[in-house]
Amino acid sequence: METKKTMKAQTKQMNELEKLYKKESVLRKRYWNMMEDMKGKIRVYCRCRPFAKYEIDRKCQSVVDFPDDVTIKIKQERNDKEFVYDQCFSGTSSQEEVFEDCRRLVQSAMDGYNVCVFAYGQTGSGKTWTMVGKPEIEGCGGLTPRSIDELFLLAEQNKQTTTTKVSCYMIEIYNDNLVDLLYIMSMKEKGKKVRAGSEPRLDIKKDSKGMVVIQGAVVLECPTAERTMTIFDAGNKVRHVGSTKMNAESSRSHLIFAVLVEVYDKQTKKTANGKFSFIDLAGSERAGKTGATADRLKEAMSINKSLSALGNVISALSTNEKFIPYRDNKLTLVMSDSLGGNAKTLMFVNISPADYNCEETLTSLVYASRVKLITNEAKQEKDSAEVRRSECGSE
Ligand code: ADP
Ligand code: MG
């Protein structure tokens, strides 16, 4: 009788504890995401690369100055120009430092949010360095390998209470066409050639939860961080030989690596579906500089169109317009679940410190300032809805 009583009491206590646990984990998510929101929906970071050796040899002068960690000054003959962003990183910033703020976004993706990090800037300004870096060299890995490591680390730490499933797709947008890099990669692995026009048709659709899916694209499971990076590397390798773009360089196309994160909570029996997109945009420079051929002009026009569409979407979000022109371009359509709404976006504007790049640098900074404007406005509107979504997860 006594034991029965004790057991009953213990069960009651367990139930209480479970209730407390659930309450606590909901609160944790809520505070976490509130804190993130206070920093704005779209955060803009500016990163300047260091001088390259050939620039030092040629005695190029620096036009940039960093008065504090949110301001960048461009020195000009007549009047200097100042720009303020959420954070500014000078040429001496390390990959680790730059990742520090991005680290938190991995938690958000696991909580069921769409997270998107993208790099904007002229070719040679450090976009790929920021997004990918050189993971094979200690300390040189960029945001993608570091976030992937963090994701699997968190999954491991939480494995008592949650099960995490990771998968990915990898798409390149070249001349307004979608190219499925993982399809090309898998054909190559099988020793098969991809003939132009023979690839499966890709359609940009939304699933019932509003998540963008690329219908027809290969989605691969990622059981470990190593496997995820192997897939990413292999996808990157076939970038140059994509059947629709025989002789284009990678800087002429947008690269989208989407990591899908499904977290099942064993206690609440709910699944949160998040996505972390890593986007290395095509170089933003004007066509003229590179001595354009007809092909190059076509590329440049297509890049120009997509980057201005991206700017327009962001600007429409900033002024709280009802209609957001996501459909104007494939780039913005693919990114539509990662800009505005519940998404958390981090934009890097990458720049060069050198005098001969000054014009492009100013153009990039002005573009990024337009993005920055929405930071404060968008956040007030959707705070409560966002917290609600994170509390509920999805069924
Ligand atoms: P983008 O992708 O914008 O064309 P890259 O990332 O390829 O530019 O950078 C151009 C060159 O500068 C590369 O050789 C890269 O390794 C180097 N680089 C860029 N940013 C940094 C940095 N912060 N620290 C060291 N090297 C850098
Ligand atoms: Mg690049």
Alpha carbon separation from 214 to 78, 211, 217 (Å, rounded): 49, 10, 6
pLDDT of residue 38: 54
What is the Cα–Cα distance from 377 to 383, expressed in whole angstroms? 11
pLDDT of residue 37: 63
Distance 170 CA to ligand 2 centre (A): 16
* Torsion angles phi and psi, residue 365, rounded to 5: -65, -35
The identity of residue 48, as a single letter, is: C
Supply 23's token pair. 């309450």
For the chain, the average pLDDT equals: 86
* Cα–Cα nearest to 343, from 314, 373, 323: 314
Which one-letter DSSP state was computed for residue 336?
T
- Residues found in the chain: 395
Query: Is residue 350 a contact partner of residue 125, using CB atoms and an 8 Å limit?
Result: yes
The identity of residue 233, as a single letter, is: D
Give the position, in ligand 1's atom list, of the atom nearest the Cα of 119: 3
For a mutational test of ligand 1's pocket, the pick from 47, 98, 129, 284, i.e. the residue with the most ligand atoms closer than 8 A to its C-beta, is 129
- Give the model confidence (pLDDT) of 261-313 as tens digits: 999 999 999 999 999 999 999 999 876 655 567 888 888 899 999 999 998 89
- Give the model confidence (pLDDT) of 100-127 as tens digits: 878 989 999 999 999 999 999 999 999 9
For the chain, list residues with pLDDT below 50: 242-247, 375-395
Q: Is the CB of 338 under 6 A from ligand 1?
A: no
- Give the model confidence (pLDDT) of 144-155 as tens digits: 999 999 999 999
Supply 242's token pair. 């994509």
